């Protein structure tokens, strides 16, 4: 039984896309289903977007595990055509989601993901194909530390990046992903920067002196510079958020930006100094008398995520001497399309 539509937020349609798409042109429903939001894109055989909808029906907002109800509430009309493939990436395939899609161990490729899809039988004959996440082991000093990502790998594969690219996906849990040849993902490393900002600004003493208001680029740059120069002193620097407010060195409305700068700066500095996915700043690759070719200064770090947050990371990377490019577009949907192709799901008569 389907839940009443009121149980879920009304889906939002992308204004530029029509709602009455011809079923004959649609081949794939690509779902980017995370913790708090569900985004659905309808694609044709070439991977072009025909329509888009989204709703705050992330896995934490779906009651009693009624995921199919949430899906049909968003796009029941799209599910009526049995020739349309349904694929999902993100936390919907986690242990807290619909069905757990086991992790692939890095290094891995889109072809390996296509061969490891987890299938969920829906009512009325349709099937949902869950894209697996990726697990890797990072060496930290002499220790082996597990890391995982789920959803970000599909965005990386949708970006169609050059070999050996480094991708940063800022967010609640920021991911640094190291790519290899032919679309392979070699490793990832997670930084809890976004969650730390939320906890510290909302649930710690650091937030007591903060106020809402216009942001401060100067305070952000000050925090970023300090975090870049001394990431090992981060917990001491975090307390300076409070003392800067107490001593009236930073205005209350600017303290959140100062905190943000500290955290992102420390993340970037630590990532540049450690691990196989490290990115060497351009100004450290040559002595002052050496010439730099165009190939050497071409962007080698790619940012994927919410534009304003990517802008912050781009600014800090710039302070660290690192060039970056921010990517836009429906990368998760494009990645799902690539995996569906690799799995042979979009072939005629499948």
pLDDT at 297 over 70: no
Q: pLDDT per residue over 54-75, tens digit each?
A: 999 999 999 999 999 999 999 9
Domains of the chain: 5-155+330-342 (3.30.420.300)
Token pair for 223: 């925090």
- Cα(186)–Cα(72) distance, rounded to whole angstroms? 36
Mean pLDDT of 95-111: 97
Check residue 11 and give its pLDDT.
53
**Higher pLDDT pick, 306 / 21:** 306
- Cα(122)–Cα(264) distance, rounded to whole angstroms? 42
Q: pLDDT per residue over 178-222, tens digit each?
A: 999 988 999 999 999 999 999 999 999 999 999 998 889 999 999
- The three-point CA angle 10-14-19 to 5° equals 80
- Cα(229)–Cα(22) distance, rounded to whole angstroms? 56
Mean pLDDT of the chain: 88
- Give the global pTM: 0.87
Check residue 24 and give its pLDDT.
62
């Amino acid at each position: 039984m389907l839940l009443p539509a009121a149980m879920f937020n009304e889906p939002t349609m992308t204004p530029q896309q029509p709602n009455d798409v011809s079923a004959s042109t649609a081949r794939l429903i690509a779902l980017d289903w995370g913790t708090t939001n569900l985004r659905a894109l309808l694609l044709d055989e070439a991977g072009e977007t025909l329509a888009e909808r989204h709703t705050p029906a992330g896995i934490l907002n779906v009651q009693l595990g009624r995921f199919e109800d949430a899906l049909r509430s968003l796009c029941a009309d799209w599910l009526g055509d049995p020739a349309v493939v349904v694929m999902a990436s993100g936390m919907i395939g986690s242990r807290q989601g619909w069905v757990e899609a086991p992790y692939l161990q890095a290094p891995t490729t889109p072809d390996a993901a296509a061969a490891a899809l987890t299938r969920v039988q829906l009512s009325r004959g349709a099937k949902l194909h869950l894209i697996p996440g990726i697990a890797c082991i990072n060496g930290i000093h002499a220790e082996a530390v597990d890391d995982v990502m789920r959803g970000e790998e599909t965005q990386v594969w949708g970006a169609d990046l050059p070999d050996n690219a480094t991708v940063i996906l800022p967010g609640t849990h920021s991911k640094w992903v190291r790519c290899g040849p032919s679309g392979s993902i070699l490793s990832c490393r997670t930084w809890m920067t976004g969650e730390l900002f939320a906890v510290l600004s909302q649930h710690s003493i650091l937030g007591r002196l903060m106020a809402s208001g216009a942001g401060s680029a100067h305070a952000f740059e000050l925090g970023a510079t300090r975090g870049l120069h001394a990431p090992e002193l981060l917990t001491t620097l975090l307390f300076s958020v409070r003392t800067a407010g107490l001593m009236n060195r930073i205005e209350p409305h600017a303290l959140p930006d100062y905190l943000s700068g500290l955290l992102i700066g420390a993340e970037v500095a630590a990532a540049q100094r450690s691990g196989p996915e490290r990115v060497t700043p351009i100004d450290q690759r040559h002595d002052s008398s050496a010439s730099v070719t165009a190939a050497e200064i071409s962007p080698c770090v790619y940012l994927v995520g919410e534009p304003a947050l990517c802008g912050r990371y781009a600014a800090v990377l710039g302070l660290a001497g690192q060039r970056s490019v921010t990517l836009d577009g429906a990368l998760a949907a494009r990645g799902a399309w690539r995996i569906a192709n690799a799995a042979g799901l979009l072939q005629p008569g499948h």
